[in-house]
Amino acid sequence: MLKNVVPLTRPMATRLDGRQLAAQLEQRLQALVAERLAQAGRPPGLAVLRVGDDPASGVYVANKEKACSRVGITNLGAHLSATTPAREVLATIERLNADPAVDGILLQLPLPGGLDEAPLLAAIDPQKDADGLHTLNLGRLLKGEPGPRSCTPAGVMALLAAAGVELAGKRAVVIGRSILVGQPMALMLQAANATVTVAHSRTQNLAELTRAADVLVVAAGKPQMIGAEHVKPGAVVVDVGIHRKPEGGLCGDVIFEQVEPIASAITPVPGGVGPMTVTMLLVNTVMAWSQRTGAELDFDALFAGLAFG
Ligand code: NAD
Kind of pairing between the strands at 215-218 and 250-251: unpaired
Residues 163 and 91 in one domain: no
**Using one digit for the tens of pLDDT, what is the confidence trace for 118-156?**
999 999 999 999 999 999 999 999 999 999 999 999 999
Query: CATH number for the domain including 190?
Result: 3.40.50.720
3 annotated active-site: no
Q: What is the pLDDT of residue 297?
A: 79
Q: What DSSP element (H or E) covers 216? A: strand 215-218
Residues 122 and 161 in one domain: no
Residues 118 and 215 in one domain: no
Residues 65 and 178 in one domain: no
Angle between helix 135-143 and helix 182-191 axes, rounded to 10 deg: 30
Does the structure show a pLDDT above 50 at 2? no
Residues 188 and 266 in one domain: yes
Residues 120 and 196 in one domain: no
Among 167, 123, 164, 125, which Cα is nearest to 148's?
Answer: 125
Instruction: Write out the residue range of the structural domain in which residue 99 sits.
Output: 43-126
**Using one digit for the tens of pLDDT, what is the confidence trace for 76-96?**
999 999 999 999 999 999 999
Residues 157 and 262 in one domain: yes
Query: CATH number for the domain including 117?
Result: 3.40.50.10860
Query: Using a 6 Å cutoff on CB, does residue 89 contact ligand 1?
Result: no
Of 240, 245, 254, 276, which is best to mutate to test ligand 1, by the most ligand atoms within 8 angstroms of its C-beta?
240
**What CA–CA distances, in Å, run from 131 to 37, 114, 149, 224, 283?**
23, 22, 7, 27, 10
Kind of pairing between the strands at 45-51 and 236-239: unpaired
The percentage of the chain sitting over the pLDDT mark of 70, rounded to a whole number, equals 97
Q: What is the pLDDT of residue 271?
A: 97
Q: What is the pLDDT of residue 135?
A: 96
Q: How many domains, in total, are found in the chain? A: 2
Say what the pTM is: 0.95
Does the structure show a pLDDT above 90 at 239? yes
Query: Using a 6 Å cutoff on CB, does residue 276 contact ligand 1?
Result: no
Query: Using a 6 Å cutoff on CB, does residue 173 contact ligand 1?
Result: no
Query: Using a 6 Å cutoff on CB, does residue 279 contact ligand 1?
Result: no
Does the structure show a pLDDT above 90 at 256? yes
User: What is the pLDDT averaged over residues 190-196?
Assistant: 98
Q: Is residue 17 part of a domain?
A: no
User: What is the pLDDT averaged over residues 50-78?
Assistant: 94
53 annotated active-site: no
Question: If pLDDT is split at 50, 70 and 90, which confidence band does 295 have?
Answer: confident
Among 178, 180, 44, 18, which Cα is nearest to 109's?
Answer: 180
64 annotated active-site: yes
Q: What is the pLDDT of residue 1?
A: 44
Does the structure show a pLDDT above 50 at 291? yes
Residue 145 burial by Cβ neighbours in a 10 Å radius (0-12, 13-18, 19+): exposed
Strand partners, 48: 106
Non-local (6+) Cβ contacts of 175 within 8 A are: 182, 199, 200, 206, 210, 216, 217, 218, 219, 220, 226, 253
Q: What is the pLDDT of residue 10?
A: 61
Q: Which atom of ligand 1 is nearest to the CA of 269?
A: 41
Does the structure show a pLDDT above 80 at 107? yes
The percentage of the chain sitting over the pLDDT mark of 90, rounded to a whole number, equals 92
Among the listed residues 24, 108, 183, 224, the single catalytic one is 108
The alpha carbon of 297 and the centre of ligand 1 are apart by a number of angstroms equal to: 32
Q: What DSSP element (H or E) covers 237? A: strand 236-239
Query: Using a 6 Å cutoff on CB, does residue 274 contact ligand 1?
Result: yes
Residues 156 and 122 in one domain: no
Question: If pLDDT is split at 50, 70 and 90, which confidence band does 300 have?
Answer: confident
Q: What is the pLDDT of residue 7?
A: 52
Residues 160 and 256 in one domain: yes
Contact 13, 267 (CB under 8 A): no
Q: What is the pLDDT of residue 157?
A: 98
Q: Range with the lowest mean pLDDT among 3-12, 75-84, 244-253, 266-275?
A: 3-12
User: What is the pLDDT averaged over residues 208-219?
Assistant: 98
Query: Using a 6 Å cutoff on CB, does residue 155 contact ligand 1?
Result: no
Residues 263 and 167 in one domain: yes
The alpha carbon of 51 and the centre of ligand 1 are apart by a number of angstroms equal to: 23
Q: What is the pLDDT of residue 55?
A: 87
